[in-house]
Chains A and B, each alone.
Chain A
Amino acid sequence: MLIDWFTVAAQTVNFLLLIWLLKRFLYGPILQAMERREARIEGRLQEARQEHEVAKEEAAEYQRLNRELEERRTESLRQVAEEAGQHRQQLIDQGRAEASALAEAWKAAVCRDRQLFMADLKKRIGSEVLQIARKSLNDLTGCDLATLLAERFVARFAALDQEQQSSCRTAAETSGVLVRSAVTLEDPIRSRLEAGLQPLVGPDAAISYCIADDMPLGIELILGGLKLSWGVDSYFAELERQIDLQLEEVDGTGEGGGRSL
């Protein structure tokens, strides 16, 4: 008999037992290990996908920031250029204002210097002319210029009309008479002058004298608020006017050809 039924039963049991043993020691552990590994690989793939997504987002964010930075940079450059232009214009305006102020100050200084110069010139010319005239008159005619001037002045004073003489008298009685002259008047001249004036201003009027440095030649009579002058001031005024005209012509020529701002 090829088939032994006890062996068949035993082998059946053995086979079922082997199924259980292999399920316990082979299939279960191996399949679990494979599942764990697949889960880990899937997890890594998922992680890699997530990291890839994160990297893409970060790249997009970086590009956006880069664009913003570039835009801000362009905007900043534009602002800086604009501010530089404004500052440049401001500096130019400031420079022009300063140059204008300097020019004005220079003009004022020139004007002041010119006035001083003219005053000095007037004094010097008056002094020189006076000396020349006095000396030449004295040498040629033996007459004293101051005496002649005083006499002429008294004569002119006496030639005033009635109303003017009345005003002068009132003023002299109130505040006295001050006689200003370019040179010191000698006593004889003073006596002659007082003798000429007293009929007009009254005997009680106090007459005082003083030297006027700014007067080149002449005599000035101050009666309170009134002033009577006899001298060369009008000639000098004409001379000064002529010189001013010449200087203005020179300034006009210089301004037309030399200004650079």
Chain B
Amino acid sequence: MELSPDSIILWQAGFAKLNLTILLTWLNMLLLTVGSALVTRRLRDDGKLSRWQNLLEVLVSGIEQQIADMGLSPVREFLPFLGTLFIFVLFANLLAVVPGYRPPTGSLSTTAALAISVFVAVPWWGIRRRGWGGFFGMYIKPSVFLLPFNILGERSRTLALAVRRFGNIMSGSMIAGILLTVTPLFFPVVMQLLGLITGVIQAYIFAVLAAVYIAAAAKVQRVREDDGQGGLHG
């Protein structure tokens, strides 16, 4: 049994190769892009909305609300990165119920790529918001002696993000495979349903953690509009 779809190589020319992970990612991208394009091609802003437009509006506005709750502002600046992170992971995990489909998030390479993206995005927004001195000054706070620990914590955080994602998805697929060989009829269906739930939760956690890291770096002040209280978060 394969641990990762990376090992299934469809085409290779020297260093470059096309494995199942990349192919399935392309498939995901194609489905997401074409689906979005089909729905957004006939958008209506008055009268009765189509159910697909309704679904996408609920999804986008929900992500916007979550980002706003994290204290990130303006929301539109962070929506493409964090929203795509959530939608990509969610869609890959949901498609896991299709027989023969191997979610690309079950590949450590994919989760590492996503974690590296977050690892780059955190200082990117941190420096944009606080400047070079402001951002790197965080590493020597509260004392310069904590500099190695801060760097270590930053790197381990990225690594944990990648491994957590990989472990969850890979273990889910693997448990389903093992149970399929032991009790091939009923039990794997239950595990698949459980996998769907954990997939959605993991997608949410991944996106929220990324948002929290970015918010911590950017030190964005969030103003709670509902009770009028303000405070620093992150």
Residues of chain A having any CB pair with chain B under 8 Å: 2-12, 14-19, 21-23, 25-27, 29-34, 36-37, 40
* B158 interface residue (CB < 8 Å to A): no
What distance in Å separates the Cβ of A76 from its nearest Cβ neighbour in chain B?
Answer: 53
Contact B3 A6 (CB under 8 A): no
* B113 interface residue (CB < 8 Å to A): yes
Since A22-B32, A37-B46 are in contact, a sample of 12 more A-B pairs with Cβ atoms closer than 8 Å, ordered by chain A residue number, is A2-B108, A7-B113, A11-B113, A15-B85, A18-B84, A19-B80, A19-B81, A23-B84, A25-B36, A25-B37, A31-B79, A33-B45
Residues of chain B having any CB pair with chain A under 8 Å: 3-4, 6, 15-17, 19, 21-22, 25-26, 28-29, 32-33, 36-37, 40, 43-46, 53, 56-57, 60-61, 76, 79-81, 83-85, 87-88, 104, 107-110, 112-114, 116-117, 166
Contact B33 A21 (CB under 8 A): yes
List B contacts of A34 (CB < 8 A). 45, 57, 60-61
Contact B84 A25 (CB under 8 A): no
Contact A22 B117 (CB under 8 A): no
Contact A27 B46 (CB under 8 A): no
Contact B60 A8 (CB under 8 A): no
Residue of A18, A21, A23 with highest tally of chain B CB at under 10 A: A18
The 9 closest A-B pairs by CB, nearest first: A11-B113, A29-B40, A7-B109, A26-B36, A36-B45, A25-B36, A12-B113, A33-B43, A37-B45
A15 to B110, CA, bound (A): 9
Contact A11 B26 (CB under 8 A): no
List B contacts of A19 (CB < 8 A). 80-81, 84
List B contacts of A31 (CB < 8 A). 60, 76, 79
Given A11-B110, A22-B36; A16-B80 close (CB under 8 Å): no
A22 to B3, CA, bound (A): 30
Contact A7 B80 (CB under 8 A): no
Instruction: Please pick, from B15, B60, B107, B166, the residue contacting A6 in the complex, using a CB distance under 8 A.
Output: B15
Given A3-B108, A7-B107, A26-B36; A15-B76 close (CB under 8 Å): no
Residue of B21, B37, B109 with highest tally of chain A CB at under 10 A: B109
Residue of A8, A17, A30 with highest tally of chain B CB at under 10 A: A8
19 contacts between A and B (CB under 8 A): A12-B117, A14-B22, A14-B29, A15-B85, A16-B117, A17-B29, A18-B28, A18-B88, A19-B80, A19-B81, A21-B29, A25-B36, A26-B32, A26-B56, A26-B60, A30-B40, A30-B43, A36-B45, A40-B45
Contact B84 A7 (CB under 8 A): no
Return the chain A residue nearest B63 by Cβ: A27
What distance in Å separates the Cβ of A144 from its nearest Cβ neighbour in chain B?
Answer: 140
Contact B22 A11 (CB under 8 A): yes
Instruction: Please pick, from A8, A26, A27, the residue contacting B113 in the complex, using a CB distance under 8 A.
Output: A8
What distance in Å separates the Cβ of A74 from its nearest Cβ neighbour in chain B?
Answer: 52
Contact B40 A7 (CB under 8 A): no
List A contacts of B114 (CB < 8 A). 11, 15
Instruction: Please pick, from B32, B81, B110, the residue contacting A21 in the complex, using a CB distance under 8 A.
Output: B32
What distance in Å separates the Cβ of A175 from its nearest Cβ neighbour in chain B?
Answer: 129
Given A6-B16, A25-B33, A30-B40; A15-B117 close (CB under 8 Å): yes
List B contacts of A8 (CB < 8 A). 109-110, 112-113, 116
A32 to B32, CA, bound (A): 19
List B contacts of A37 (CB < 8 A). 45-46
Contact A15 B83 (CB under 8 A): no
Return the chain B residue nearest A10 by Cβ: B22
List A contacts of B45 (CB < 8 A). 33-34, 36-37, 40
Residue of B44, B57, B84 with highest tally of chain A CB at under 10 A: B84
Contact A18 B107 (CB under 8 A): no
What distance in Å separates the Cβ of B177 from its nearest Cβ neighbour in chain A?
Answer: 17
